[in-house]
Chains A and B, each alone.
Chain A
Amino acid sequence: DAGVIQSPRHEVTEMGQEVTLRCKPISGHNSLFWYRQTMMRGLELLIYFNNNVPIDDSGMPEDRFSAKMPNASFSTLKIQPSEPRDSAVYFCASSFGQGGYGYTFGSGTRLTVV
């Protein structure tokens, strides 16, 4: 298995543009997590899905952020419109069950909004 695959690896966009981040979890994993990492705030859970259903989206900053998981092998995180303060590294992680054996993280998407 290639692990958790995220795309793109880097994204530079202008303020106000729509940004879509993509994640393919490990096959057989049924929980998927979106995180944002910044120097100031560390790792923040944005949303997590179990069996494609959102379980906890309390970390989604505001209505500009949305996430979907249309099937077990794909998820997107969308920011519309993007703002400079959204600049961060966005990680996707997946786990079997609800993470008792640990999460497998993707390589992240480094987003820069100018």
Chain B
Amino acid sequence: AQRVTQPEKLLSVFKGAPVELKCNYSYSGSPELFWYVQYSRQRLQLLLRHISRESIKGFTADLNKGETSFHLKKPFAQEEDSAMYYCALRFNAGNNRKLIWGLGTSLAVNP
């Protein structure tokens, strides 16, 4: 079954420290993975897509098919990075291309 697992509900780091938000997936097909971010009381917004291999706000994420992971990383966390982060996998069954979501990780960056 398709599943996305974010093992940490809460991650707390100090400003300037490296941060890694973990995401593991299970999917039999070729995965398409995304990271979304939700700042306090704001709408969810797309942060990264694995196929675009980009860095947004200093964040990067590499798809590791061997480990079935798509961890989100940033070398130096900033206070404004504090938010809820969701990993999502795009399902692919015929016409059904919905996203399968993890439960999210709340990142708190302390001064």
Contacts and interface: CB of A to CB of B under 8 A. Distances in A.
Interface of A: 33, 41-43, 45, 48, 50, 55-56, 91, 93, 98-108
A23 to B, nearest CB: 12
Nearest to A43: B101
A45 B98 contact: yes
Contact of B43 (A50, A55, A91): A91
Contact of B96 (A43, A56, A93): A56
A30 to B, nearest CB: 12
Nearest to A51: B95
Contacts of B44: 43, 91, 93, 103, 105
A contact patch SS: strand
B86 A43 contact: yes
Contact of B49 (A41, A43, A93, A102): A102
Interface residues of B, number: 21
Interface of B: 32, 34, 36, 42-46, 49, 51, 86, 90, 95-99, 101-104
B49 A103 contact: no
Contact of B95 (A45, A55, A101, A106): A55
Residue of A56, A91, A101, A102 with most chain B CB atoms under a 10 A cut-off: A102
A41 B102 CA distance: 10
A93 B43 CA distance: 10
Contact of A103 (B95, B99, B102): B99
Given A91-B44, A105-B45, A56 B101 contact: no
